[in-house]
Chains A and B, each alone.
Chain A
């Protein structure tokens, strides 16, 4: 059979097979050797841990216990049926849904405003970027002081508004009588307060990304738009700026989403998931179950769930969006 195949081959091919080694094959082998270290590292430090986590999520493993029992999907069933786990999903999704749009659009708005300035650009850039550079844990402590129900600057400032026309706002009038919210101590306010801090902390970063994106918009396009009859800034934004920032926006939304899913430090520093598990976000749950309570199997299951969320975002980005915003 192989004889038949070699007979039907053309002459140059036969000549080549006579040589000791095919140059292309030699090059391919060199390539293999060169990329092997990277492949080994990739498997060892990225893929194997995920696999181990996936396996652990199907057990009741806890650190230090000699035996491991296979529990199948019980950890996952617990997540989807237990009330505290439902609260975890609600808190995480709500946090992401609040922080992502607000910090993306604030970042874009700040970038556009800064670009329109003739003087003071670097001043505003620095000011808005400060929260990004600061250690969030340290900032969280400052926020804790500021939001203290009785001594905090926030409620004391608000209390100064009592007796003024601000009381026409019914919420404000009621608060003047019953006292202002406990913020981080109130389960109706805690997550929103954390989301506010999250937005405050992250929109400066998005602003920097948008500023970089804006520099790549060719100036000629704005000239062309003026010649084509575009006079108002809003029209210019719709025709050029927004579409041209498409790739930036996809990147900013993805990165902000992933970072919001990962929120942990403010929760750990300010609320510990409370009150009444209203701020019980995923990473905090992983920490609490897997590390604090040493329920490694359960922690691993939440981790896998978290990974699935993040993967979903990345795939969605690649599949649906990226194809539409790159114009080449």
Chain B
């Protein structure tokens, strides 16, 4: 069990800066997801932590001890690879046993034939066999121990890779997009299992993924990375409700947040397409407003957005309505309860508003900036929200 600290990690491949000074503290037993689009440097950061790659500058600490320059084998970490990286010529049992045989048996004891008759080898091998079986039973793959990886399905290989990682009881688990090669159903299933595993083992998990849904459902905290930088680190709730950066807002949540391009005049009033929105900037000038699809509420007047319905997606539990709105380049997505089924039709005109505290403002640099209601409109909007909810 261990805490992990990254201090100003930089990594360059030639002229390309992959990591531009990443600092991050991970608590003991925490499930932390590194999430970001492909090429953002999240896997590189994980490989630096694992010791498979070395940073250009900065330091990594595991359990309070600096591990820079320490061989991957000596860091007491386990890793699950996207490709699973199982040894194809070894059986499942032998695959899971490798971390134990490499550590518990001397190199002489590992020799074929001769190694088996050396003193102590037999008892150690028996103990390893027991541990492997326990790990396999925990993951429900005990019946596969004699098979070769080539004979297993994707989900089963995934479990073997997990088994090989947890058999040694390492201080932290590193998982590099472990679910991306599975089909959708299996992915949802393994998502729950990995989260449970974290709780059962109590070990630190560092989980790399490009899928924000995986990060949201499994993590204690999420670190969003883009272009080699950490944009925001926080709980899934914090990231969803209070994104600190426009890119974080756009990355987290599905369907994506609605981004409305706006102008702020000298008095601080926010205009969308030259119409006053009833909102004001309580800090720097606002250039974009972010509104989650479920934060929108239909209204009769005093709307924030007006548009014509272009598409209705009925998911049964919810209704996603896409509008072409004036002054907004992308279609605006609204989530309505299933009770709205039949009341909305394509080509209808819809007026939408949202409670000011559920609207995120972003300044010209894309950083979060405070937004509030203009006093006289404030009550008005609240009335309407109350009426429609």
Q: Do A and B make up one complex?
A: yes
Is there contact, CB below 8 Å, between B81 and A226?
A: no
By a CB distance below 8 angstroms, the chain B residues around A244 are 88-89
Name the residue of chain A whose CB is nearest to the CB of B71: A231
- Kindly identify, within residues 78 to 117 of chain B, every residue whose CB is under 8 Å from any CB belonging to chain A: 78-79, 81-83, 85-89, 98-99, 102-103, 107, 110
Give the size of the chain B interface in residues (CB under 8 angstroms). 29
Count of chain A to chain B residue pairs whose CB atoms are closer than 8 Å in the complex: 72
Name the residue of chain A whose CB is nearest to the CB of B78: A227
**Whole-angstrom distance between the Cβ of A182 and the nearest chain B Cβ:** 44
- Kindly identify, within residues 129 to 156 of chain A, every residue whose CB is under 8 Å from any CB belonging to chain B: none
Within 8 Å by CB of A226, from B51, B89, B149, B150, lies B51
**Whole-angstrom distance between the Cβ of A139 and the nearest chain B Cβ:** 39
Is there contact, CB below 8 Å, between A224 and B73?
A: no
Name the residue of chain B whose CB is nearest to the CB of A328: B150
Hey, which bits of chain B sit against chain A, CB under 8 A?
47, 50-52, 71-74, 77-79, 81-83, 85-89, 98-99, 102-103, 107, 110, 148-150, 164
Is there contact, CB below 8 Å, between A229 and B73?
A: yes
Name the residue of chain B whose CB is nearest to the CB of A234: B107
Is there contact, CB below 8 Å, between B51 and A224?
A: no
Within 8 Å by CB of A327, from B88, B99, B102, lies B88
Is there contact, CB below 8 Å, between B51 and A221?
A: no
A81 vs B77: C-alpha distance in the bound complex, in angstroms? 67
Known contacts A226-B71, A327-B148, A327-B150: A235-B85 contact under CB 8 Å: no
- Kindly identify, within residues 208 to 228 of chain A, every residue whose CB is under 8 Å from any CB belonging to chain B: 218, 220-221, 223-228
By a CB distance below 8 angstroms, the chain B residues around A239 are 87, 98
By a CB distance below 8 angstroms, the chain A residues around B51 are 226
**Whole-angstrom distance between the Cβ of A180 and the nearest chain B Cβ:** 42
Is there contact, CB below 8 Å, between A230 and B89?
A: no
Within 8 Å by CB of B87, from A229, A235, A240, A325, lies A240
Top 8 A-B residue pairs of the complex, sorted by shortest distance between their CB atoms: A229-B102, A327-B88, A224-B85, A220-B85, A226-B72, A243-B89, A328-B150, A228-B99
Within 8 Å by CB of B107, from A218, A220, A223, A235, lies A235
**Whole-angstrom distance between the Cβ of B122 and the nearest chain A Cβ:** 21
**Whole-angstrom distance between the Cβ of B119 and the nearest chain A Cβ:** 21
A63 vs B164: C-alpha distance in the bound complex, in angstroms? 70
A218 vs B85: C-alpha distance in the bound complex, in angstroms? 8
